[in-house]
Amino acid sequence: MFRISQYLREVAQAQATGTYPAVRERRARGPVVIWNLIRRCNLTCKHCYALSADHDYAGELSTQEVFTTMDDLRAFGVPVLILSGGEPLMRPDLFDIAARAQAQGFYVGLSTNGTLIDAPMADRIAAAGFDYVGISLDGLKATHDRFRRLNGAFDLSLAAIRLLADRGVKVGLRFTMTSLNAHDLPALLELMRQEGAHKFYFSHLNYAGRGNIHRDKDAQFGATRQALDLLFDRAWQAAQEGREEDYVTGNNDADGAYLLQWVQARMPQWADALQARLQAWGGNASGVNVANIDNLGHVHPDTMWWHHDLGSVRERPFSAIWQDTSDPLMAGLKAHPRPVQGRCAQCRHFALCGGNTRVRAQQLTGNAWAEDPGCYLRDDEVYLSDPAAAASTRHAAEVAHA
Ligand code: SF4
């Protein structure tokens, strides 16, 4: 995840005070865990990576197995659990799991399509004390209902946002952009502000599940740049006005490089400080600071790697699976720097991007270490003509994570 607002708040503070704030990138011992507790879903969205449907799936983790795994996650230093699905609200023990996670001190997020949240359910969610609830909206009504394959889905999700916001729950919108819904982004950003949502999560389309099947519909790179420009403008305005709005992106770590260029063009005096911050962040975190457990208990480097199984929490604790680098993919993901190839290996931004999203390279070329085909930066923004300077950026990637 790339936190646009966090970095632009720092730049805004630098503009206001004349000094770039001293901030250290905090790293928890364990990764953020996105946990798909259930595969069943009441919707069958076009871009669903979990390929969910409205029926039960055999072999899902029992409540006790979830609890046992949570104990291991806590001992391992996992700071955040994002409870997801399928539709997590269809899991009968969801609130028991959430309560235990809260009691153990996790930051607990809920990722839902929102269509099952009526007033009584909103009361339960508010009482459960989730730290954050993300609700997916793929556009305005016509677009969203088409994506979600359900007439009325937009109205239900919007009602859920209102019900939760009314109860003081920190709620955010999740938007996955394709060429078929990019036109709705400006209106959705307005909607976010109108409805008092705290966060806007902009997800680039990745190539997994139904998203993979619809690869040819991926937004063109120009549209991606326009969308990022809009998000940056919005986040910058919010930072200057002191609004409590968070703009974050996912599935494309070139966003860090693109933000650096945005700041270089407007406030070049802060570009070096921002670059140092972004290098400390380090870009793509799959297999390192982000992990996924699926509904059957299988561990993956992130949610887009369901076709790559690292082992089951039924057979080994998560902490053991996660630290095991005998798997070549995990060894590469945890390497500093990662063994990326092509333009990523020569890129001036490699130290802050980390070579971006490996699953896209793997899905498109069969080689997980090929250059990321989803990078929307132009060649003149990527390559350094001076070989010595290119070598120094690779060195920066090594020291940033030493
Ligand atoms: S070329 Fe590769 S390393 Fe450079 S910004 Fe694009 S994805 Fe990241």
Q: What average pLDDT score do residues 117-143 get?
A: 96
The residue with greater pLDDT, 209 or 3, is 3
Instruction: Map tokens 């709705």 to a residue.
Output: 184
Ligand 1 neighbourhood includes 350 CB (under 6 angstroms): yes
pLDDT at position 288 is 97
Verdict on whether the full-model pTM lies above 0.85: yes
pLDDT digits (tens, 9 = 90+) for 161-172: 999 999 999 999
Burial class (CB in 10 A: 0-12, 13-18, 19+), 271: middle
- Residue of 278, 286, 349, 384 to mutate, ligand 1, most atoms within 8 A of C-beta: 349
**Could you report how far apart the first and last alpha carbons of the chain are, in Å?**
21
Q: Whole-angstrom Cα distance, residue 150 to residue 147?
A: 8
What's the mean pLDDT in 365-385?
Answer: 91
* 287-333 pLDDT tens trace: 999 999 999 999 999 999 999 999 999 999 999 999 999 999 999 99
Q: Cα-flanking dihedrals φ and ψ of residue 203, to 5°?
A: -105, 125
Closest CA to ligand 1's atom 1: 344
Which numbered atom of ligand 1 lies nearest the CA of 353?
Answer: 8
Of 344, 348, 352, 394, best ligand 1 pocket probe by most atoms within 8 Å of the beta carbon: 344
Closest C-alpha among 138, 148, 223 to residue 187 = 138
pLDDT at 219 over 70: no
Q: What is the pLDDT of residues 191-205, one digit of tens each?
A: 999 999 999 999 998
Q: Which helix (H) or strand (E) covers residue 332, if one does? A: helix 328-334
DSSP structure string for 106-159: -EEEEEE-STT--HHHHHHHHHHT-SEEEEE--SSHHHHHHHHT-TTHHHHHHH
| Residues 164-183 as b or e (16 or more Cβ within 10 Å = b) | bbeeebbbbbbbbbbebbbe
Residue 136's pLDDT is: 93
Cβ atoms of 251 and 203 within 8 Å: the answer is: yes
Mean of the pLDDT values across residues 198-217?
72
